[in-house]
A and B are shown apart, each in its own frame.
Chain A
């Protein structure tokens, strides 16, 4: 017999009614169900049910995020070595990356799981797997220098205020990971924004070497006053391939447009992400950027004239589009509302980036903003659909 199975079988009686840990029965069930699907059978028609459950659904998102973690570990170490002027030796790059990323992930999961388990035990329902996705997304959006206590605080805010007080996964209207991220942004701007936070400094160093540009492509784009932004990026060492691969100082795992593209295609293929949202997002970003470029005319600020598709190469736009906008819970439910939702997110992202110097990146705020409007978009489409529908009740 499987040793894990044996472990659960030998300890089950403590958690059953009358056992000394009976009050934690829910917790036991929750942990067991991670390893072994429950034996429950149907009690009503239809007598058979689909093999897909929420656990599998959410697990596929985590699968899509695994490459981002691998990339994030590498990039954090790589940028740290570059900032120190050291040759990026693979082993030491990975070691530095792991040392920065693993504690953040461990803290996120431990704290997130604590809150979820607390609410699940009090409410006597099972732990919903949405938690594991939120906890997988959250560290990827943080700078590698974020203090761990802030990580713990951020995920607590995201899980408790973004989700649990509304009833848990499925009843939240904001994306919990982004809620936590936004909390940190506004509560601790010193550790969450500016150019310095995106690069980890190796021990014993107070500042990067002179040859290293710590500025992110986004802040470069916002600061460029004349000439083309691509040239400014090139001078800082960011050619388009570097940007596409994501090898620049940024949030831990959100910078690689390549991996976001792969992840989005994977999620669409397995039917977890709705292509309508992503299509709307792209339409919003490209359409708005193109419209701004058209209206601005020659001589305007370079950011207004940026090639629309370059918006997708820098910052967190691609990551937000692939993983945050496609969260079905905080998005609208109906197909056309989803396209509109995506479009407005894309449009707002570009508008915030280009016109608001206080926010170098706009996608997080844009998504949270549109989360609030998702029910309205649903309502508009629902009214239109119901009008077409004949009623039995006259």
Chain B
């Protein structure tokens, strides 16, 4: 087995790590399929309010790429179709019936899997509305259906605070994981590269034999982009596919059961969650119901769909989107600092730098919030961003190339290797939105390639 030591990176010491417990919140009365937080999607509606749908009925699909289908996570009546700014579809809400009906899809057993045509297998995943769980590097969007990837990476751990612990989400689902890996092998014609992090999924005895690579290092060592940057040198190898462990379980469940999955394990964490832990939830459940009774009181909270560093702020009225594995609750922190607080030694101030006393005596975790902690300034070339970057980009120079419209130069800097981990923006003392700049440049470049 390959062992890789990832360079750079940074482990954020933020409080609210989910315990290895698994609870099931009360069953929701309504669920929704969310489109608003999937940036690659240009949705076209297939239903209207009042329509009756089953679990697995088509709700919307991408306008340009019909293979990106999004199916109903519940059976009942479409009660609302919500639009956001510029009439972008946010979500389709379904009031659930007492007895939900489900669309039936063909089942796939072990013998079928050995015989099925890979193209037909791909079409089945598409029909099940789960193709968007497979993403292609470097743009991290669902791949074209007919593409044969140079590699497919399944990552079982996710070091971003906070994602489901494989010891929790894999418990009792190992057979399903193995089936999922065989599905990917059949689909792509090559065995998937299965990665785990040191001290993570590799410690599960039954998982260890499945692994092809164990990555040691700080966040975002788990990211397939880091592995690709370090191990797979040739440019054509870098258009690999990536699938998160929990997502592979959904694909395997759909193929085995012949029904659109309705449940997944998510991590509820962050300093605003009390107690933080794992939840087995309905897909598309209302976020407020997921966090109900587990919010820290006394402070306004920000709901973040996803992790602290890459997740998106979401309204508490929103719902869990299909690929989301985490709900993070963060105190807003929208209050001015204390009197001359920035001059104090900072024994309890978390920082990547060594500019506070906390660096010499770090606590296990800090109650961080969404305060920006400073005004926006021009870059002072402290080079912290270059030191945390896991793929050796020099964000302080690359973002200037981006702002100047020098796409070629940004590409030469390694723009497409960016794993979008968010560490450069995190550590910047000038509070420059480096991640935003690099992401937008990548998006613009991809749009130009179409």
Which A residues fall within an 8 A CB radius of B?
2, 4-5, 33, 35-42, 44-57, 59-60, 126, 128-130, 167-171, 269-272, 274, 328-329, 331, 333-335, 378, 382, 385-386, 389-394
Interface assignment of B380: CB less than 8 Å from any CB of chain A: yes
Indicate whether A52 sits within 8 Å of B355 (C-beta atoms), given known contacts A33-B375, A37-B342, A390-B234.
yes
* Residues of chain A with a CB closer than 8 A to B365's CB: none
Q: A interface, by DSSP: helix, strand, loop or mixed?
A: loop
The 8 Å CB contact of A50, one of B238, B394, B396, B428, is: B428
* Residues of chain B with a CB closer than 8 A to A385's CB: 392, 394
* Residues of chain A with a CB closer than 8 A to B264's CB: none
**What is the distance, in angstroms, from B349's C-beta to the closest C-beta of chain A?**
4
CA distance A5 to B341 in the complex (A): 13
The 8 Å CB contact of B339, one of A35, A56, A170, is: A35
* Residues of chain A with a CB closer than 8 A to B138's CB: 392
In the complex, the answer to whether A44 meets B433 with C-beta atoms within 8 Å is: yes
In the complex, the answer to whether B377 meets A170 with C-beta atoms within 8 Å is: yes
Q: Can you list 28 contacts pairing A with B, beta carbon distance less than 8 Å?
A: A4-B339, A35-B339, A37-B342, A38-B336, A39-B334, A44-B433, A45-B311, A45-B312, A45-B436, A46-B426, A47-B308, A47-B330, A48-B308, A49-B374, A50-B352, A50-B429, A52-B352, A130-B380, A170-B430, A329-B380, A331-B381, A333-B396, A334-B386, A385-B394, A391-B235, A392-B235, A392-B416, A393-B408
In the complex, the answer to whether B435 meets A45 with C-beta atoms within 8 Å is: yes
Nearest B residue (CB) for A386:
B412
CA distance A393 to B428 in the complex (A): 29
Which B residues fall within an 8 A CB radius of A?
12, 14, 138, 233-235, 238, 302, 304, 308-313, 328, 330, 332-343, 346, 349-356, 368-383, 386, 392, 394, 396-397, 408, 411-414, 416-417, 422-423, 425-431, 433, 435-436
In the complex, the answer to whether B371 meets A270 with C-beta atoms within 8 Å is: no
CA distance A35 to B340 in the complex (A): 5
* Residues of chain A with a CB closer than 8 A to B349's CB: 51
* Residues of chain B with a CB closer than 8 A to A272's CB: 355
In the complex, the answer to whether A56 meets B429 with C-beta atoms within 8 Å is: yes
In the complex, the answer to whether A59 meets B311 with C-beta atoms within 8 Å is: no
In the complex, the answer to whether A53 meets B436 with C-beta atoms within 8 Å is: no
The 8 Å CB contact of A170, one of B313, B340, B378, is: B378
* Residues of chain A with a CB closer than 8 A to B382's CB: 57, 328
* Residues of chain B with a CB closer than 8 A to A38's CB: 336-337, 372, 374-375
In the complex, the answer to whether B356 meets A52 with C-beta atoms within 8 Å is: yes
CA distance A170 to B379 in the complex (A): 5
CA distance A393 to B382 in the complex (A): 30
CA distance A320 to B308 in the complex (A): 42
**What is the distance, in angstroms, from B12's C-beta to the closest C-beta of chain A?**
7
The 8 Å CB contact of B411, one of A5, A53, A270, A392, is: A392
* Residues of chain A with a CB closer than 8 A to B346's CB: 51
In the complex, the answer to whether B394 meets A48 with C-beta atoms within 8 Å is: no
* Residues of chain B with a CB closer than 8 A to A389's CB: 392, 412-414
The 8 Å CB contact of A53, one of B235, B342, B368, B397, is: B342
CA distance A390 to B328 in the complex (A): 36
The 8 Å CB contact of A45, one of B309, B332, B427, B431, is: B309
* Residues of chain B with a CB closer than 8 A to A274's CB: 383
Nearest A residue (CB) for B238:
A392
The 8 Å CB contact of A328, one of B12, B328, B380, is: B380
**What is the distance, in angstroms, from B19's C-beta to the closest C-beta of chain A?**
21
In the complex, the answer to whether A48 meets B330 with C-beta atoms within 8 Å is: yes
In the complex, the answer to whether B422 meets A57 with C-beta atoms within 8 Å is: no
Known: A41-B371, A49-B374, A51-B356. 5 other contacts (CB 8 A): A35-B339, A44-B436, A49-B371, A389-B413, A392-B238
* Residues of chain A with a CB closer than 8 A to B408's CB: 393
* Residues of chain A with a CB closer than 8 A to B335's CB: 39
CA distance A40 to B413 in the complex (A): 32
CA distance A178 to B375 in the complex (A): 26
